[in-house]
Amino acid sequence: MTDSFIHHPSSYRDPSGFIFSKNGVLYRQVNKVFSQDFDFFVASGCYEKLVKKGLLIRHEVINENLTGDKDWHTTLQPAPIPFISYPYEWSFDMLKDAALLTLDLLKEAMASGMILKDATPYNIQWHDGKLLFIDSLSFEQYDETKPWIAYRQFCECFLAPLLLSHHSKIPLQELLLAYSEGIPLAVTQALLPWKTKFSFHTYLHIHLHAKYSLKKPSATGEKTIFSKRKLLNLITSLEVLIKKIRLPDSKSTWSDYYDEAAQRKDYLVHKEKIIHEWLGKIKPESVADFGANTGEFSKLAAAQNIQVIATDFDAFCINTLYKAIKKNSEKNILPLVLDLSKPSPAIGVNNEERDSFLHRTSVDLALALALVHHLAIGKNIPFGKIAAFFGQVCNYLVIEFVPKTDEKIQFMLRNKEDIYSQYTEENFLAQFQTHFNIQEKIMIAGSERTLYLMKKNER
């Protein structure tokens, strides 16, 4: 056993405590300065209530100073979250539900004499088929005479991206990559259509808020007198507004993929049969389905009690999948919006606060079904680079090779010059064999496409 611990790079803002890992286990230290609030959080029954309602992560109290820190009050060991995702990878409805969860927690906390001292989506993670609040140090004792300190943060982190998507009818989760601490009110106000000034709740929370947020604090430091009733009204107003905003189910390029593919029934049935067999053979515990579309193959794996990360660059598809997961209480799928030509980078202080997608991802099996031609021909990514990506994220790979004669590729090349002389099955195999060895190869019925099962080369 070593004595060293690693302070988590994203856990530096709040002096109440911090996240660290020791011997591969993640812990949260509570500092002395926050002891009164944390002890009240537990003693008031607020912690137990929130955990029982499935809103907050459960932790174990480790009564040992693992860091040797003089500010140590107690150590918590939170339940592990298998995969950390970020709001710029979430679909519209997932961010919307995260916003409503934050307001639910705020109300529950207030009922126990506590309040949320921050409101950021980074405090929320997907776990066991639902959103869960993971920061046990976000609760402090409530002073009813004071307004909500995290109100502006809530408006910038949740309300702003949701409203911008709602009014533009475009999924804009990527904006949160640029504005990772929330879209400033002034920016949101400038981007929202003018008519939103006549929308009662939007006017109050964005336009009026933006106007006042530019005001300098008064020199006299006059106090604003607030009340619990007033804060509850504010929460109700935010809830009314958030519940109303929605992203229309637009027909995106690929959202009707399965309907169309269903016309080629033999193809889909055979493909499902092969995947089913290979899943039984490999018995993976974790799967990443890249180019998942609305997740038909993710669901196939999830039904076998496998943890699945389903990704697609089409945010409409992922939103449809998110809604289906919610409706069917599907526990094993995490749906994420991800463009493989630019997977989420590492961002934040020293570029290490939020990890890159590649650094976070390591699965037993990756599925790349009807995907490789979109990357190689749609995005001009050479096979070598695609193979290197999969070589970093998985042990096994199920990949579908689509030949150039396929009607989908012919469609893609209709308005594009065929500069893809390297796009051959031989070159595909040569490049992938630098990272993988081929285990099996099956032609899919009703098509010219081939499914390959590959295993990562032993180093």
Partner 1 sequence: MLHHLLYIDPGSGSFLVQAITAAVLGIAFFFRNIRLYIKSIFTRTPKKPNDNPPA
Judged by beta carbon, residue 140 or residue 355, the one nearer partner 1 is 140
Judged by beta carbon, residue 229 or residue 327, the one nearer partner 1 is 229
Q: Report the distance separating Cα 1 and Cα 40, nearest Å.
A: 34
Min dist CB 221 to partner 1, Å, is: 11
Min dist CB 237 to partner 1, Å, is: 5
Beta-ladder partners of 288: 309, 366
Judged by beta carbon, residue 17 or residue 291, the one nearer partner 1 is 17
For 332-367, give the DSSP string: SEEEEE--TTSPPPPBSGGG-SB--HHHH--EEEEE
Min dist CB 186 to partner 1, Å, is: 11
The token pair that represents 11 in the structure block? 């856990």
Triad 317, 319, 321: Cα angle to 5°: 70
Judged by beta carbon, residue 207 or residue 271, the one nearer partner 1 is 207
Q: What element of type H or E holds 73?
A: strand 72-78
Q: Which of 324-332's residues contact partners 24+ apart within 8 Å by CB, and which partners?
A: 324/294, 324/295, 325/129, 325/295, 326/93, 326/97, 329/129, 330/129, 330/299, 330/302, 331/128, 331/129, 331/302, 332/129, 332/301, 332/302, 332/305, 332/306, 332/307, 332/308
DSSP-based three-state secondary structure for 311: strand
Min dist CB 217 to partner 1, Å, is: 4
Q: Report the distance separating Cα 399 and Cα 274, nearest Å.
A: 12
Contact residues toward partner 1 (CB under 8 A) are 13-16, 33-34, 117-118, 140-141, 143, 146-153, 200, 204-205, 208-209, 211-217, 224-226, 229-231, 233-234, 236-237
Min dist CB 202 to partner 1, Å, is: 12
Q: Report the distance separating Cα 195 and Cα 221, nearest Å.
A: 35
Min dist CB 13 to partner 1, Å, is: 6
Min dist CB 259 to partner 1, Å, is: 40
Min dist CB 212 to partner 1, Å, is: 3
Distance from the first to the final alpha carbon of the chain = 28
Min dist CB 140 to partner 1, Å, is: 6
Beta-ladder partners of 74: 30
Computed from CA positions of residues 261, 362, 128, 132, in that sequence, does the dihedral angle turn out positive or negative? negative
Judged by beta carbon, residue 117 or residue 127, the one nearer partner 1 is 117
- Asked if 307 contacts 82 with a C-beta cutoff of 8 angstroms, the reply is yes
For 237-272, give the DSSP string: HHHHHHHH--------SSTTHHHHHHTSHHHHHHHH
